[in-house]
Chains A and B, each alone.
Chain A
Amino acid sequence: MGAQLRVYKRRIRSVTATKKITKAMEMIAASRIVKAQRKVAASTPYAAELTRAVTAVATGSNTKHPLTTEVESPVRAAILLITSDRGLAGGYNSNAIKAAEQLTERLRGEGKEVDTYIVGRKGVAYYGFRERPVKDSWTGFTDEPSYADAKKIAGPLIEAIQQETADGGVDELHIVFTEFLSMLTQTPVDNRLLPLSLEKLEEGKEELAAKHEILPLFEFEPSAEDVLDALLPRYVESRIYNALLQSAASKHAATRRAMKSATDNAGELINTLSRLANAARQAEITQEISEIVGGAGALADATAGSDK
């Protein structure tokens, strides 16, 4: 076998092996999307009920709460960025990081200091490499987040927002995560969790009104303040939990897509290489034939010459 042909054969073998791996990863990711989506769906009733309750308290009572009132001149904001622990997901992580960067720029432009909190090893690595300060980070659960993980993250954030700004507390809490819109579309979004934007609540109220569901006057047990005190941390936790779940689903979808195109590319590469290998083999055969023919011709010429 010619050297050229051997090289092609070897490359085809290696690309075929890679293709098998990417195909397997694609299928694993596909099965995980379904699982992640189911988890998002399972957490929806809780989130919906909680949002309803928060809306009811925030609109139905006149209580002022640090978590619902906007500070007149906010000086510091916290950003929670959700990335994944592992790569091989196309632009998933870089898109989320880019969204966080944009938000940081915008907040800085508004004259606020920005504290960054990160979930996922990829985000931590990005900030670590650039030596940017990170307040806190969590890794190791981005593929299958549990409610306990969300609680773990929410703890320091709520603490930070309840602290006075002068003592290093924050006035606002933003969250950047990748929203799972469909199997094909996932977009990074930034949301302000706290203070609760009343416009959003108003929207929720209008929605309820549209459904002829008037929010009743609640009796609060033990009191509106206490209920709100207990309710808002849960609300933040539940929103973070939801963001983690959606991010996980998005990550699996992004992985699936990336692995699918890797598999397709490998297939294409194998086709091209097979063609080149065939051409090389053909060229080799042609050369051998022409060598034989040429050799035989030369021999015939030589014998014909000696006969005369």
Chain B
Amino acid sequence: MAAELHVELVAADRQVWSGEATLVVARTTSGDIGVMPGHQPLLGVLESGPVTIRTTDGGTVVAAVHGGFISFADNKLSLLAEIAELSDEIDVQRAERALERAQTEADRFAERRAEVRLRAAAAR
């Protein structure tokens, strides 16, 4: 059995990350799901949340993903997201400001987006 799977993390307007990984953890609407090589073909709806990719060389890639899909077949995993950012692309101060603003405006979705960004940034 192949010990690695190929991951493509694609946002609507660009390819964010692609490479080999041993484990991918993402949040679907029905809960967190971990995909390892040889998983059964899967197509799921993603929630806003951090996605953790454990790469073959032992590193970890964390990305904040907002809305999208996970699809896995033939040891190829695609994460499609409208917006996706790698943790080191996230501007923490901006996300914090966005969180504050969202809290004062009681914008639930914006608040959630900012929270996810901060969590992803904290995990790097």
Contact = CB atoms under 8 A, between A and B. Distances in A.
Contacts of A45: 8, 10, 15
A3 interface: no
Given A46-B10, A46-B80, A226-B45, A53 B71 contact: yes
B122 to A, nearest CB: 27
Nearest to A230: B45
Contacts of A222: 28-30, 44-45
Contacts of B11: 46
A60 B74 CA distance: 16
B106 interface: no
A238 B80 CA distance: 11
Contacts of A234: 68-69, 80, 82
A241 to B, nearest CB: 6
A148 to B, nearest CB: 9
Given A43-B13, A46-B80, A221 B74 contact: no
Chain A binding surface, main DSSP class: helix
A42 B11 CA distance: 9
A218 B43 contact: yes
Given A49-B78, A234-B82, A218 B42 contact: yes
B69 A216 contact: no
A151 B40 CA distance: 32
Contacts of B14: 42-43
Chain B binding surface, main DSSP class: strand
A227 B12 contact: no
A56 B72 CA distance: 11
B66 to A, nearest CB: 12
A222 B29 CA distance: 7
Contacts of B19: none
Interface string A207-250: 00000010111111110001100110010011001000000000
Nearest to B69: A53
B3 interface: no
B118 to A, nearest CB: 22
B34 interface: no
Interface string B42-84: 1111000000000000000000000011110110001010100
A85 B25 CA distance: 44
Interface string A33-61: 00000010011011001101100110000
B83 to A, nearest CB: 8
Interface string B1-36: 000000010111111000000000000111001000
A226 B44 CA distance: 9
A33 to B, nearest CB: 18
B19 to A, nearest CB: 14
Interface of A: 39, 42-43, 45-46, 49-50, 52-53, 56-57, 146-147, 151, 213, 215-222, 226-227, 230-231, 234, 237-238, 241
24 contacts: A42-B14, A42-B15, A43-B14, A45-B8, A49-B71, A53-B43, A53-B78, A56-B71, A56-B73, A146-B13, A147-B13, A213-B74, A215-B73, A218-B42, A218-B73, A221-B70, A222-B29, A222-B44, A226-B29, A227-B44, A230-B69, A231-B69, A234-B68, A234-B80
